[in-house]
Structure 1
Amino acid sequence: MTKLNWGLIGGGEGSQIGPAHRLGAGIDGLFHFAAGALDVDPAKGRAYAQSLGVAEDRAYGDWKEMLAGESKRDDKIDLVTVATPNATHFEITKAFLEGGFHVLCEKPMTMTVEEGEEIYKISKATGKQCAVNFGYSGFSLVRQMKAMIANGDIGKVRLVKAEFAHGFHADAADADNPRVRWRYDPKAAGVSAVLADAGIHALHMACFVTGQDVETISADYASTIASRELEDDAMVNFRMDGGAVGRLWTSAVAIGRMHGLTIQVFGESGGLVWQQEHPNQLYYTPLNGRTQIIERGAGDLYAEASRASRVTIGHSEGMPLAFANIYTDLAEIIRAEKEGRAADPAANLFPRAEDGLRSMASVYAATDSAKGDGRWVNAVPNILK
């Protein structure tokens, strides 16, 4: 099978997210790393791309040069990943979609709801996929949870509790650390810090597994370190369009918490619990029954979960393999389009522009609510009403 051509923007040497994307795109042999504009310094970007095996003429100095260069090629990239700072996502994603390329954009997809609506419309108009890297939705047992809920295994969903809390920004002495400071600066981060950075992963997870979308939000923000303009802790209540009630806690000052991404779903006839730090187990408790442990890699999982599992039962799978499932989904969708056939339905799970738009709308609604002492605010984007 001929590999699809893949390009990466951002994610250069020393990047936290770049290696995860390179591993995710390459691990199944579906994509060839063909082009890159990896660094804000053109010389460094070109050199690093070539050190990773990218041909000299496709190791670009910046994303504009890459767009122009790839647009002229017969073997142009099939998918480009945007892994640059948040404030640049909209401009780059918009340009590549309009240029006829499929895009996988790091979250947040945009900095404003209006930008999100524009990306949503462009993706629809061009017919090009705009995926958003809510990568944790790629974990095998998260997809098992989604399939179980859709199949009615826990009955109608009543309550969702989501968390994404860590303690890595709890030191007030880090106030001038540039790697931390920008996250709490509205000029760089936008209207929200920890909710937009971490909490939207948990919020998206709640929507992903339940198949419901957020309708209204009530939020309380706290800046526990006085020098911060934006919140480092948030408690968000939300109500969903399928009737479920949601609770979300996200924090950057929870000392002792490493990552803390947890999703719990409680239905009329059962409950499910999954933790990202222990991704191989999904806990299922039927009404009036004993708690059961569902193991990743077991032979009786739903097709969506089995497809997303690569190594044998009992061995750990991590974040890069979750990312790889997003890339595998996209490869199947892109290849099916090229071959004029229907795509595997189990591949139709990757987050899209609509998810990125809804997430940003929820951030703005939560921020509005927090400023209004927790009043309930509509979180549905106008274009989707």
Structure 2
Amino acid sequence: MSQRLRWGLVGGGEGSQIGDAHRIAARIDGLIDLSAAALDIDPERGRAYARDLGVAPDRAYGTWQEMLEGERSRPDRIELVTVATPNATHFEIANEFLRNGFHVFCEKPLTMTVEDANALLKTAEANDRLLAVNFGYSGYPMVREARAMVARGDLGRIRLAVAEFAHGFHADAADADNPRVRWRYDPNQAGVSSVVADCGIHAMHMIGFVTGQHLEAVSAHFASLVGDRILEDDAALNLRYSSGTLGRLWTSAVAVGQMHGLNFRIFGEKGGLSWHQEAPNQLFWTPLSQPTVVIERGHPEASDAARDATRITIGHTEGMLVAFANLYRDLHRAISAGEQGERDLALSLLPMGAAGAEMVAAVDAAARSTKDNGAWVELPKTSL
């Protein structure tokens, strides 16, 4: 388990929204080395930035195709590739690296279509490679504590799950031509959905992760509230899960005053839980007919999964970078265990390709539902 993992990054160049988060998270435990990179749509800019980050000049690539060609025949080739590029490119890049024997960690959404998502699962299986998806918020210790409490039966049967992921950073109509914003509402680059595919799937995945259930059907209403956007910037969804749990989801990019806005509430027969990503150290637990209890991150009676995900002592702030780092550590553990013919606990916590495919199917179902006036649309069984 101490062997360092050779890692490559595609996308996430200088100034990108997510690149630094991946690089910092991957380095926190000292288990992963950035050995190769193709960071930018501009080849020269990408090569220069990779060299600035300490990547050897001959492994600072201009394109992902150069990186694939350069790495696949090296005796010290990278083992894991992170795909942190725009949505429309995920399938081709991930598929080619999987096909050539590399493990892949892909940003969400996994792909833009259900067919492509299922094809990636088949490629990963055929080549015996790990395919995981960056639903990074599942790495928070108190999210894993909530999952452990539900699995232990503390809440009894789960009746209702309510989640939100709403921010207001796309509310300014004057931002219509900002390239960082514009692509998110372009079907050619974002697919059939904008805010649901960008933010809503984190909340949907969170419900499934905590409750241990699969999403079976969706009823949705999309709205485009700013300018002439083709894709939605606000959405409300009803969700039906595999053990009968009813879900409610609101996601928005035009909720002025909301900063990040990811939270969930889980209601069972015996009590309820709530968690807010902007205050991640506390999980609120209300047993039936009893006062609410605050469970603090780092408490010695927390579950094994929560304690393992906790890096600093109780009372100190622990945030997104460490949550992402927990997924990178899980990747290291899972890949190391696989090479030794073992199955590591990390595989039960990592958001695997099947979870990514399920969320792609959920987005597709939601888009079809809103076109049919909110009719219930079932997810294809093959996506689960």
Question: Do Structure 1 and Structure 2 share a fold, with TM-score over 0.5?
Answer: yes
Q: Please name the residue that 1:238 is paired with.
A: 239
CA distance in 1, matches of 2:143, 2:68: 35
C-alpha spacing 1:203/1:119, structure 2 compared with 1 (3 Å): same
Q: Please name the residue that 1:68 is paired with.
A: 69
Instruction: Count residues with an aligned counterpart.
Output: 383
Contact map agreement 1:329 1:348 (CA 8 A) in 2: no
CA distance in 2, matches of 1:192, 1:384: 18
CA distance in 2, matches of 1:342, 1:210: 23
Contact map agreement 1:328 1:347 (CA 8 A) in 2: no
C-alpha spacing 1:353/1:18, structure 2 compared with 1 (3 Å): same
Contact map agreement 1:274 1:282 (CA 8 A) in 2: yes
CA distance in 1, matches of 2:44, 2:227: 40
Runs of 4+ in 1 over 6 A off after TM superposition: none
User: Quick one: which amino acid aligns to residue 152 of structure 1?
Assistant: G
1:15 aligns with 2:16: yes
Q: How does 1:1-385 map to 2 (within 5 A)?
A: 1-343=2-344, 345-346=345-346, 348-379=348-379, 381-384=380-383
Deviations 1:245-290, CA, capped at 9 Å, x for gaps: 0000000111111010001100000100000000000000000111
Deviations 1:57-84, CA, capped at 9 Å, x for gaps: 1111111111111111111111110001
Gaps of 5+ in 2: none
Contact map agreement 2:333 2:346 (CA 8 A) in 1: no
Deviations 1:121-147, CA, capped at 9 Å, x for gaps: 111221111000010011110000001
CA distance in 2, matches of 1:340, 1:176: 51
Deviation at 1:382? 4.6
Deviation at 1:2? 2.7
CA distance in 1, matches of 2:311, 2:18: 21
User: Quick one: which amino acid aligns to residue 258 of structure 1?
Assistant: M
Deviates more, 1:269-278 or 1:332-341: 332-341
CA distance in 1, matches of 2:71, 2:308: 32
User: Quick one: which amino acid aligns to residue 24 of structure 2?
Assistant: L
Deviation at 1:174? 1.4
CA distance in 2, matches of 1:227, 1:270: 44
TM-score of the superposed pair, with normalisation by structure 1: 0.97
- Identity of matched residues, %: 59
CA distance in 1, matches of 2:176, 2:72: 43
CA distance in 1, matches of 2:311, 2:254: 35
User: Quick one: which amino acid aligns to residue 357 of structure 2?
Assistant: L
CA distance in 1, matches of 2:343, 2:237: 39
CA distance in 2, matches of 1:214, 1:305: 24
Deviation at 1:356? 1.0
User: Quick one: which amino acid aligns to residue 112 of structure 1?
Assistant: T
SS in 1 for 2:16: coil
SS in 1 for 2:153: coil
Deviations 1:140-159, CA, capped at 9 Å, x for gaps: 10000001100101111000
Deviation at 1:383? 2.1
User: Quick one: which amino acid aligns to residue 148 of structure 2?
Assistant: A
Deviation at 1:97? 0.4
User: Quick one: which amino acid aligns to residue 367 of structure 1?
Assistant: A
TM-score of the superposed pair, with normalisation by structure 2: 0.98
